[in-house]
A and B are shown apart, each in its own frame.
Chain A
Amino acid sequence: MLGAALVVLACAAAAFVLAPLWRPGAAPAWEAERERLVHAREAAYRALREIELDRDTGKLDDDDYATLRARYQAEAVAVLRRLDALATTDRAAPAGAERPT
């Protein structure tokens, strides 16, 4: 009785695990560059908010604040430009195409 149950359990596990092998498919599309840029964009936004808070709470001098703000804004702008450029090429290329990572 138990033996039969174990055999059924083993077969079920094997079928479940091996099933995908009969349905080969493409790897999900993913762009390393895009993810990196999204991270960079969020980091730049966070940095901008934090230096603003740092200035308002008296941790940063106005001069330093201006320098840092200019730097982070330049970073954010560069990242946004590259993201937009990626979006444009995405529209040009067929959707779902496999991309080397």
Chain B
Amino acid sequence: MADLGRFSLFGALVLALYALAAAALGARARRPEVVRSASRALVAVAVLEGVAAAVLWTALGTRDYSFQYVVSHVSDAQPLLYDLTSFWGGMEGSLLLWALLLSGYTLLALRSVGRQRPPLRPGLVAVCAGVSAFFLFMLAFVTPPFATSSFPPADGRGMNPLLLNPWMAIHPPTLYLGFVGLTVPFAIVVATLISGPSGDAGVLLARRWMLWAWYCLTMGLMFGAKWSYVVLGWGGYWAWDPVENAALMPWLVATAFLHSVMIQERREMLTRWNVVLVILAFGLSIFGTFLTRSGVLSSIHSFTQSPLGAFFLGFLALALLVAFGLVAWRWDELRSRNELDATLSRESAFLLNNVLFLAVAFSVFLGTVFPIVSAVLTGRAINVGPPFFDHIVVPIAFGILVLMGIGPLIAWRRASAESLRRNVQLPAAAGIVLGVALLAAGVRAPGAVLAFVLCGFVAATVAVEGVRGVRVRRAHRGEGPVRALVALVAHNRRRYGGYIVHLGILLLFCGVTGSSVFSTQRVVTLGPGETAAVGEYRVRFDGLSQSTRGGALVIAASLRVFEGTRDLGPFAARRSLYLAGDSTTDVALRSTPRDDLYVILAGWTQDGRATLRLLVNPLVAWMWAGGLVVTLGAVIAMIPERRAVQEGAPAFRGAWSAGE
């Protein structure tokens, strides 16, 4: 079994190298049959990786403890579902997942992009084969998933119990779908740069793939935050941890790209900029995989000990060198065909938005690598914590919010200050009214009031856009309001899909603001029957109980929650103690749109008293709702706009015939 897995990976590596060479030679010698053979090699790579994955999954599912990977991630007591998801619980498995997902994306891209623009085929094959070859090399020689031992233990160690959670089961694959998905835009752009001059450098073809990868990254980040919130039991969902930043950085660059690609589409401008963003996003995805998997930041000294870091950084440097070398080579052909018409236009708003997103990405990068950089430069490792990130990101985020409101109100090319002022009035008034209402309601934190005012302003601009669009449609076509709204969104999917995504992001913003500014917490030690108040709630402790579950000793504190005089029912905070010395928290969580009551059992005494950490986190539920709204908007924006072209076409056909 293990031999089959090892052989598959080795064979896949050979085939990927063959594909790389054959695609390059075939394109050079203008021999399409050689390129076809190269793309077939990538199909074979996918099949062999599938075989390797099947071997690993079978070993995990049958608890075959002769595999070292199985011993580290599976145990007899562990539920079967988590045996299977431990596929991506360790480094070896997650690199295999990377390679497998990349092969899937490669085949899809070859089918769709290869058909749309056949000259890109050799380049696509070469880039995807090159990236695959790197990961297969790591799997074959550096981090083999199929290492076996001759004296298998009777039981495995199992995964860390913190990972045994549905959110953690789906978080890594979702994130990886996003990380790996960034390879496709990169491959398209590099293939275009190789294949020769073209109008758009492949950027427009890459847009849809980037949108998909962006969506997967968004969801991956949300799932990770949710896991952190419900499992780690520290009351928060985001800690500016390096592994979180690793996923945030490519997300920020992808967000910038999705905005600036619109300028290129409309104005044939900023091609160079967009190409650089695509390359950067890919580079950050490799860097992110490296950060999360190499342990470079868990110990400053591990970097020199582990061969992994050198391989990853070497590959990253090579990929960036090749890509930027190609950009330099084609530099003149990538120049803009137009220039900005006016300082006040949607183009410059988008440009500013791009600069701000990149500023955030740069700061996050700087903060993440600060310990390494400072250790190299000064010999002392200096760590920068959450205050660093908050200090920089919060003001920039306010700037991005302002642009989010102004962007949709401002016309392409040239906006008259007059019409902008007219359009801003109503939403700005809405924001100010909201601010006054909050102040009147006793909200005093200036940062939070500002954040809510801006959110109200942006939400109002989206609402105004929707209402005006519906009004126009009703006037022109006499449709009913609901029908007009549906038709409006359906016929302008990208625009209104984007607005819906913005609404989701606003919900996220409100959730983050509410929970970070207005969170209250206290730590209390209660005897049975005693009550503690937190926020609007009172929590009564009714006693401790003990049970065993899945190889763990579970201590549960029975609680009862009251709001005023209303009894909200029973509620339990648990802590599971595992033999290995690990413990996990089951947070007692009561979530409403207004706030979350979040109770952690922090400790207990022999005489039956419990130490509880009580938190009230306002508006957290809005964040998760925001994730759903982003999904809705992204799906709408991803559906191709085929009918729209036909709808627009006849009128201009008419205009054209009239001109003849």
Contact = CB atoms under 8 A, between A and B. Distances in A.
Bind each other: yes
Given A13-B15, A27-B30, A48-B648, 15 more contacts: A17-B18, A19-B40, A27-B32, A30-B118, A36-B198, A47-B266, A50-B495, A53-B469, A56-B469, A57-B472, A59-B411, A59-B419, A68-B413, A80-B653, A80-B656
Interface string B20-58: 000000000011111011001101100110000000000
B414 A6 contact: no
Given A17-B15, A50-B412, A64-B411, A30 B117 contact: yes
Contacts of A36: 198-200
B112 interface: no
Contacts of A18: 37
B151 interface: no
A59 B415 contact: yes
B181 to A, nearest CB: 23
B62 interface: no
Interface of B: 3-4, 7, 11, 15, 18, 30-34, 36-37, 40-41, 43-44, 47-48, 116-119, 195-196, 198-200, 204, 265-266, 409-416, 418-419, 422-423, 465, 468-469, 472, 492, 495, 644-645, 648-649, 652-653, 655-656, 659
Given A13-B44, A20-B33, A30 B652 contact: no
B198 A32 contact: yes
Nearest to B648: A45
A61 B410 CA distance: 12
Nearest to A40: B199
A45 B41 contact: no
23 contacts: A13-B44, A16-B40, A20-B40, A23-B33, A27-B30, A28-B118, A36-B199, A39-B199, A43-B265, A45-B644, A46-B265, A47-B412, A48-B652, A53-B472, A56-B468, A56-B469, A56-B472, A57-B472, A58-B468, A59-B419, A61-B419, A73-B655, A77-B655
Closest 9 CB pairs of A and B: A57-B468, A56-B472, A20-B36, A27-B32, A45-B648, A24-B33, A20-B37, A30-B118, A36-B199
Contacts of A77: 652, 655-656, 659
A81 B149 CA distance: 71
A21 B33 contact: yes
Query: Which of A20, A27, A59 has the most chain B CB atoms inside 10 A of its CB?
Result: A59
Contacts of A9: 7, 11
Interface residues of A, number: 50
Contacts of B3: 2, 6
Nearest to B7: A6
Nearest to A23: B33
B119 A26 contact: no
A59 B423 contact: yes
Given A10-B11, A58-B422, A76 B468 contact: no
A90 interface: no
Contact of A17 (B4, B41, B423): B41
A25 B33 contact: yes
Nearest to B651: A48
Contacts of B649: 45
Contacts of A42: 645
A26 B32 contact: yes
Given A39-B204, A64-B416, A101-B119, A57 B465 contact: yes
A35 B415 contact: no
Interface string A83-101: 0000000000000000001
A49 interface: yes
B645 A45 contact: yes
Contacts of B37: 17-21
Per DSSP, are chain A's interface residues mostly helix, strand or loop, or mixed?
Answer: helix
A45 B117 CA distance: 22
Interface of A: 2, 5-6, 9-10, 13, 16-21, 23-28, 30, 32, 35-36, 39-40, 42-51, 53-54, 56-61, 64, 68, 73, 76-77, 80-81, 101
A94 B43 CA distance: 34
B332 to A, nearest CB: 18
Given A16-B44, A39-B204, A45 B652 contact: yes
Contacts of A64: 411, 414, 416
Contacts of B199: 36, 39-40
A51 B412 contact: yes
A30 B118 CA distance: 7
Contacts of A26: 32
Nearest to A78: B656
B4 A6 contact: yes
Contacts of A50: 412, 495
Contacts of A28: 32, 118
B317 to A, nearest CB: 30
B411 A46 contact: no
Contacts of B656: 76-77, 80-81
Query: Which of B117, B204, B410, B655 has the most chain A CB atoms inside 10 A of its CB?
Result: B655
Given A23-B33, A53-B492, A77-B655, A35 B116 contact: yes
Query: Which of B40, B469, B495 has the most chain A CB atoms inside 10 A of its CB?
Result: B40
Nearest to A24: B33
A10 B196 CA distance: 36
A76 B412 CA distance: 18
Given A23-B33, A35-B117, A54 B465 contact: no
A25 B656 CA distance: 41
Query: Which of A10, A17, A36, A48 has the most chain B CB atoms inside 10 A of its CB?
Result: A17
A32 B118 CA distance: 10
Nearest to A71: B413
A48 to B, nearest CB: 6
Query: Which of B30, B200, B416, B652 has the most chain A CB atoms inside 10 A of its CB?
Result: B652
